[in-house]
Structure 1
Amino acid sequence: MSQGNTSAPILVTGATGYIASWVIQKLLEQGYTVHATVRNLDKKQSFAHLEKIADKTSGTLKLFKANLLENGSFDEAMQGCKVVLHMASPFVVTNFKDAVKDIIEPAILGTENVLHSVNKTESVKRVVVTSSIASTYGDAIDILKTENNQFDESNWNTTSSSTHQPYPYSKVMAERKAWEMAEAQDRWSLVCVNPALVLGPSLTVNTQSGSVEVLEQFANGMTLLGVPPMWNGIVDVRDVADAHILAAFNENASGRYIISGGSLNLLEMGKILRQHFGQKFPFPRNQVPKKAFKLIGPLFGYSKKFIEKNMGYPIYFNADKSKKELGISYRPIATSLVEHFQQLLDDGVVKKYI
């Protein structure tokens, strides 16, 4: 892995996050000083795992309070940093009241506020923003528009909106804001990391991620009668963390990087888990045909528009750029899936069904 100047601190926003915690651990193990931002310094339980990691490594951890929605909030934490890893982002896919206020505006404004601080901080030379493959497409049906039946870095999500797929819309709009601000200056360079659905062990039991919700549904019986024909790009959390660090210190890294270890549909995920864990859980055994799911989907909160555009379309992602330019070698996604479920079981997040 490329090494930078370990004497200069590195800023990581959203330090308690699932991916960010792994990034911080890897940086501390390499001897870096990490300036880590959290929303509340009084909630020590949320970052206790980071302090334990720091105690066992050669690096130095310095915690700062910062709020995505407050202009200038990141100024202090950024002082002296050459590299900024902007990983903080609101994660609200469901159960929101107002998509614009709860998801879209915070994502865009948060990116804007962090980059305003970058513009004021002369020491910063490289910014890495955690985006998402949701920035490359809005609905699975968009795969039909691609040249090689796979999404790559040239693809942009043009089909999401504040009323249809607001979370993917927030990701693409935040990334577009980052590129707009990067192109308006020439002191610092921007690299965006676009991971698929992230699986793999967490460094804390407090993790919030979309993958946890999927695995909980596999364990609680919700999917016992069957799952819809839906595919996910999947990647191990440790590979995503490596991608951020490589993007930070590789001078030749540029543009966007899709980070994906492969694709699985929900039924395939269920089969992998059953092969490993046996009959202890109600893992899905059947795939519900799209026509049938149109009848029952609304009962589970799926709109007919979502079902029509996202079910029955296998989606694939081209991660060749990340392999060639960053040198990433991806872990097997089946192993990441099993390890993640095992951890949720060990932590008591999911319980044996039988």
Structure 2
Amino acid sequence: MTDRVLLTGISGFLGGHVALQLLNSGYTVRGSVRNLSRADKVRDTLLRHGADVSRLEFVALDLMRDAGWDEAMEGVRYLQHTASPFLIQIPKDKMELIGPAVEGTERALNAANNAGVERIVLTSSMAAIAYGHDKSRTTPFTAKDWTDLNGRAVNFYQESKTFGPLLDDDPGTSAVIVQRLLDGSIPAAPRIPMTIIDVRDIAAAHVAAMTAPDAGGKRFPMGERTVFFLEAAKILRERYPERRIPSFGMPDWAVRLYALFDRDMRDNMGELGYIKRLDSSDAISLLGRPLLTAPEALLATAESLVSQRLV
């Protein structure tokens, strides 16, 4: 009998890739979805990408409800908690995001602890590390750092950008950036940085951290490279020269003017021109190999968007 892993958020971008790697590694995966009507689509998607879905099962769980969590943990050796609230833009009330994220994580952790689960792997964000610090800092952020919630330009939804191949026709949040660069809806590139990591590396790290003897209790920051929009656009333009991908930057004054009318841009104005880098050495040691490069991640995203006819 193979070890069973409860994977929350299996229908998400990261969750799908974690499921794929777990199944390919021989585990039995119990994936949680908010509604079991989504199970067939997730199963078909994973099957299409080569997974053995005979070891895939589903359970309905809600981050905001207690029902079903104890039952979902029965027979489970490991918990992979990748589920998080989904949002298109930052809500006005921060608790619309923070409440479900905190309560859902508490429910998952408490249920796992009550069931005696051997190890829990929790998806976090560079939001927990790299914000609210002095902008004069040039050294990479490490697992020892924590975001200063009293610092300047801290909002409650900050993240690195997770790129890589899409498993289905849902572009998620990060891939929308590549989608907009490819479809010409970003005419000029704002001087806003992106710390890029490939979803395949994050998924591999989740699986490795589950059983690595010395991984317990540790954090593993992951970011292959930090680039500005213009550099990302250049990488895409070289592969897709026929597309209207921006070839010049947007002046900072124009970005600030545009932000008066665009809430998403306004929420990220604290990042304008500010490069943050992550020390990924622990994650590289965990994986035993280098991270996939930022160009590989961006181009894999682009190729998926094209093949799914999303651009």
Q: Tell me if both proteins adopt one fold, taking TM over 0.5 as the criterion.
A: yes
Assess if the C-alpha contact under 8 Å between 2:33 and 2:59 holds in 1: yes
Question: How far off is 1:304 after superposition?
Answer: 5.8
Residue of structure 1 aligned with 2:128, choices 135, 152, 155: 135
Question: How far off is 1:48 after superposition?
Answer: 3.3
Question: How far off is 1:268 after superposition?
Answer: 0.3
Q: Which amino acid aligns with 1:228?
A: P
Assess if the C-alpha contact under 8 Å between 1:152 and 1:317 holds in 2: yes
Q: Which amino acid aligns with 1:126?
A: R
Q: Residues 54 and 119 from structure 1, CA distance in 2 versus in 1: closer, same or farther, beyond 3 angstroms?
A: farther
Q: Does 1:152 align with 2:116?
A: no
Residue of structure 2 aligned with 1:126, choices 119, 132, 146: 119
Equivalent positions of 1:234-273 (< 5 A) are 234-254=196-216, 255-273=218-236
Q: Which amino acid aligns with 1:121?
A: A
Distance 2:264 2:121 in 1: 34
Assess if the C-alpha contact under 8 Å between 2:47 and 2:53 holds in 1: no
Assess if the C-alpha contact under 8 Å between 1:30 and 1:59 holds in 2: no
Q: Residues 56 and 23 from structure 1, CA distance in 2 versus in 1: closer, same or farther, beyond 3 angstroms?
A: closer
Residue of structure 1 aligned with 2:161, choices 187, 193, 197: 197
User: When the two structures are aligned, how many residues end up with a matched partner?
Assistant: 309
Q: Residues 290 and 54 from structure 1, CA distance in 2 versus in 1: closer, same or farther, beyond 3 angstroms?
A: closer
Distance 2:67 2:127 in 1: 28
Distance 2:267 2:305 in 1: 32
Question: How far off is 1:86 after superposition?
Answer: 0.4
Q: Which amino acid aligns with 1:136?
A: I
Q: Which residue of 1 aligns with 2:303?
A: 342
Q: Which amino acid aligns with 1:241?
A: A
SS in 2 for 1:272: helix
CA offsets 1:303-343 (integer angstroms, 9 cap, x no match): 76742x21111221110111224424211220221121121
Q: Which amino acid aligns with 1:341?
A: A
Q: Residues 49 and 158 from structure 1, CA distance in 2 versus in 1: closer, same or farther, beyond 3 angstroms?
A: farther
CA offsets 1:276-313 (integer angstroms, 9 cap, x no match): 01032x21111122233222222222576742x21111
Residue of structure 2 aligned with 1:104, choices 95, 98, 117: 98
Q: Which amino acid aligns with 1:197?
A: K
Assess if the C-alpha contact under 8 Å between 1:239 and 1:331 holds in 2: yes
Distance 1:53 1:231 in 2: 34
Q: Any unmatched runs of 5+ in structure 1?
A: 1-5, 169-194
Q: Residues 58 and 112 from structure 1, CA distance in 2 versus in 1: closer, same or farther, beyond 3 angstroms?
A: closer
Q: Which residue of 2 aligns with 1:216?
A: 179
Assess if the C-alpha contact under 8 Å between 2:8 and 2:31 holds in 1: yes
Assess if the C-alpha contact under 8 Å between 1:30 and 1:58 holds in 2: no
Question: How far off is 1:57 after superposition?
Answer: 2.3
Residue of structure 1 aligned with 2:261, choices 294, 299, 308: 299
What is the RMSD computed on CA atoms of the aligned residues? 2.5
Distance 2:36 2:124 in 1: 26
Q: Which amino acid aligns with 2:299?
A: V
Q: Which amino acid aligns with 1:144?
A: K
Q: Residues 121 and 72 from structure 1, CA distance in 2 versus in 1: closer, same or farther, beyond 3 angstroms?
A: farther
Distance 1:232 1:60 in 2: 37
CA offsets 1:5-28 (integer angstroms, 9 cap, x no match): x72211111111111111111111
Q: Residues 260 and 97 from structure 1, CA distance in 2 versus in 1: closer, same or farther, beyond 3 angstroms?
A: same
Q: Which residue of 2 aligns with 1:3?
A: none
Assess if the C-alpha contact under 8 Å between 1:257 and 1:319 holds in 2: yes
Equivalent positions of 1:1-354 (< 5 A) are 7-50=2-45, 52=47, 56-57=51-52, 60-94=55-89, 96=91, 98-100=93-95, 102-122=96-116, 124-138=117-131, 142=133, 144=135, 146=137, 148-159=138-149, 165-168=155-158, 196-208=160-172, 210-224=173-187, 226-254=188-216, 255-280=218-243, 282-301=244-263, 306-307=268-269, 309-350=270-311
Assess if the C-alpha contact under 8 Å between 1:232 and 1:264 holds in 2: yes
Q: Which amino acid aligns with 2:91?
A: F
Question: How far off is 1:29 after superposition?
Answer: 1.4
Q: Residues 215 and 56 from structure 1, CA distance in 2 versus in 1: closer, same or farther, beyond 3 angstroms?
A: closer
Distance 1:272 1:28 in 2: 33
SS in 2 for 1:234: strand
TM-score by length of 1: 0.80
Q: Which amino acid aligns with 1:213?
A: V
Question: How far off is 1:145 after superposition?
Answer: 5.7
Question: How far off is 1:164 after superposition?
Answer: 5.3
Question: How far off is 1:50 after superposition?
Answer: 4.9
